[in-house]
Chain A
Amino acid sequence: LLAQLLSEPERQYIFDSVQDAVRIDGRQCLAYRQAALRLDLLCYATASAQVSLGETDVLVSVREEDNPGATAQQQGSTGSVAVQQQQAVSHPVSVWVDCSCLGSGPEQQQLADEAQAHLSSLYRCLRTPTPVFVDILLLGYDGNLLDAASIAASAALMRALPASLLSAQALPLFATVHRIGSQQIVDANQLEESCSMARVTVGVDSNGRLVACQTCGEGSLQFESMTEIIETGVRKAMMLHDSVAKLVARVL
Chain B
Amino acid sequence: RNSQLPISDHVMPLDRYRNTALVDGIDVRALPLAGDCPAPASEGKQQQQQQQQHWFQRRLVQDTVGSGYVEFGDTKVLCSVHGPMEPKRSVLTDAGAEQSRAQLQVYYKLAPFASHQAGRVSYLPDETERRAASFLQDTLAPSLRLDRLPKSRIELHCLVLEDAGCCLATAVNCACLALVDAGLEMYDLVTAATVCRPVGATDWQLEVGDGSNSGGSSSVTLAYMRSLRQVAGMLVEAAEPLQPREVSAACRICEDPCKMTHSSLRQFLLDCLPADDRTAKIA
Contact = CB atoms under 8 A, between A and B. Distances in A.
Interface in A14-70: none
Nearest to A213: B236
A8 B147 CA distance: 15
Contacts of A227: 248
Interface string B217-247: 0000000010011111111111111111001
Q: Kindly name the residue among B91, B238, B243 whose own CB sees the greatest number of chain A CB atoms within 10 A.
A: B238
Contact of A230 (B230, B238, B244): B244
A227 B250 CA distance: 12
Contacts of B252: 223
Contact of A215 (B91, B95, B233): B233
B92 interface: yes
A128 interface: no
B97 A4 contact: yes
Interface stretch (A73-81, A112-120, A158-166): A112-120
A214 B142 CA distance: 16
Nearest to A116: B127
Interface stretch (A148-156, A204-212, A239-247): A204-212
A91 interface: no
B42 interface: no
B138 interface: yes
Nearest to B93: A4
A201 B249 CA distance: 18
Interface in A172-219: 200, 202, 205, 207-219
A107 to B, nearest CB: 7
Interface residues of A, number: 42
A116 B242 CA distance: 22
Nearest to B131: A117
Contacts of A216: 134, 138
Classify the secondary structure of B's interface with A.
mixed
Given A124-B237, A125-B238, A220-B142, A210 B243 contact: yes
Interface string A219-230: 111110011001
A119 to B, nearest CB: 10
B49 to A, nearest CB: 27
A211 B235 CA distance: 11
Contacts of A105: 90-92
Q: Kindly name the residue among A103, A200, A218, A219 whose own CB sees the greatest number of chain B CB atoms within 10 A.
A: A218
Classify the secondary structure of A's interface with B.
mixed
B18 interface: no
Nearest to A113: B130
Contacts of A200: 234
A5 interface: yes
B138 A210 contact: no
A5 B241 contact: no
B171 interface: no
A116 B128 CA distance: 10
Nearest to A216: B138
A107 B236 contact: no
B232 A220 contact: yes
A121 interface: yes
A132 interface: no
A234 interface: yes
Contacts of A101: none
A205 B243 CA distance: 10
B149 interface: no
Nearest to B138: A216
Q: Kindly name the residue among A105, A208, A214, A230 whose own CB sees the greatest number of chain B CB atoms within 10 A.
A: A214
Contacts of B240: 125
B28 interface: no
Nearest to A233: B244
Given A116-B127, A117-B134, A230-B248, A214 B228 contact: no
B234 A215 contact: yes
B247 A218 contact: no
Q: Kindly name the residue among A107, A120, A227 whose own CB sees the greatest number of chain B CB atoms within 10 A.
A: A227
A109 to B, nearest CB: 10
A1 interface: yes
18 contacts: A4-B92, A113-B134, A125-B238, A200-B234, A202-B244, A209-B242, A210-B244, A212-B237, A215-B231, A215-B235, A216-B134, A218-B141, A218-B142, A220-B225, A220-B230, A222-B229, A226-B231, A226-B251
Given A220-B232, A221-B230, A230-B247, 7 more contacts: A117-B130, A209-B242, A210-B236, A210-B242, A210-B247, A216-B138, A230-B244
- Sorted nearest first, the 8 A-B pairs with minimum C-beta distance are A209-B241, A218-B141, A213-B236, A117-B131, A220-B230, A220-B142, A215-B234, A210-B242
